[in-house]
Amino acid sequence: MKSTIFVCALSFAISAVGALPNDSNAQRLARGLPPLPPRRRHFGAKRTTPSSTPFQCATKKTFCCTDLAAPTSAAATSALGGLGIPLSSCGAHIGLGCVAALGDSWYV
């Protein structure tokens, strides 16, 4: 009986000490201690390598665009650069602000 109570009291004491909040970095710095390193709460996805096949403009859908621009215009260059598409793979005009005719919308 005494050993059961002792084990229960000991486990309670250990769990109570483990539940105490750790000092913040501000409190540690005020006491002259170095700050704690950041905690990793998740691990990011592994980076993949780029595809070896070049991008090709071959759409099968019909789009309604609010603006057509030359590939060398500032708006088209910005949109294509953000997507990582080289200017050499595009035609004479680039559609900006396009909506698919089937109701699917996406913007370039």
pTM over 0.85: no
Q: Is the pLDDT of residue 37 over 80?
A: yes
Query: 32 or 23, which is more confident?
Result: 32
pLDDT of residue 29: 92
pLDDT of residue 11: 81
- As a whole number, mean pLDDT of residues 49-71 equals 71
**CB–CB of 101/61 below 8 Å?**
yes
In three-state secondary structure terms, 40 is coil
Query: 54 or 83, which is more confident?
Result: 83
Q: Is the pLDDT of residue 91 over 90?
A: no
CA distances to 14, 96, 100 from 74, in Å: 65, 12, 23
